[in-house]
Amino acid sequence: MAMRPRSDADHLPSSHEDVDIAPDHGRCCDRGRGHVMADDLPPAGWYELEGVLRFWDGARWTEAVRPLARTERVVLPRDREPILVRVLLTITLGMLAALCWWGWFTWPTDGDTDYQVWQGVGCALCLLLLAIAAPVVVHPGSAIFAMTIGFTMAVGIDWIPDDETGLSGVGVTMLGFAMAIGSCLAILLADAGWRRAKPLAQAHG
């Protein structure tokens, strides 16, 4: 069972001279601190001590030390861009999401008012590609907002002016909610993937 690294303030002897082994009793004596069982001492290994990793040989601390491993912050291209560039990229992302609707659902369909399956598939694939690429250049929260607003506005502009029943507003709202949920899942998963992929690429590079 793995033991929690101890500091030199714990009941660990600092040198062989501080340890007396009593063979007839099967225990060790840490002078000045009382008796402890020999088996209670931690096994040899690297333990955190005073901000570094120090090697414990099973009976005492050695002079061998290592720096603590530090988790480096993953920096994506979006983190290096000035705020104005981020705003422009966010607006561009919203416009691209709107174009996904206009580009696929405004095709002439030979008088048929129903949308075709290929239109829906094409639009969904384009939105998915946008969601995967977006976290690289835009913060996930901004990307979700931009894609949702851009796509919903495009649907509203396309539907509402020609609607005489007033029901198109319900459809726009439903598509907006669906877009928000879908973009949230896709963008957050993509962001996690990009953050995981970059340290691996650096390690293999």
Over the chain (205 residues), what is each successive 10-residue block's mean pLDDT? 45 43 37 52 82 84 80 67 89 96 80 78 96 92 96 93 85 95 96 77 46
CA distance 36 to 28: 6
What pLDDT does 1 receive? Answer: 41
What pLDDT does 3 receive? Answer: 45
Closest CA to 12 of 65, 51, 61: 61
pTM beyond 0.75:
no
How many domains in the chain?
Answer: 2
Residue at 6 is within a domain: no
Beta carbons of 137 and 81 less than 8 angstroms apart: yes
Residue at 2 is within a domain: no
Residue at 195 is within a domain: yes
Last residue of a domain, one of 26, 43, 67: 67
Mark whether 62 and 95 lie in a shared domain.
no
Mark whether 146 and 190 lie in a shared domain.
yes
Domain range spanning residue 186?
77-200
Residue at 107 is within a domain: yes
- Length reported for the chain: 205
CA distance 148 to 205: 37
What pLDDT does 78 receive? Answer: 76
Mark whether 51 and 142 lie in a shared domain.
no
Mark whether 89 and 185 lie in a shared domain.
yes
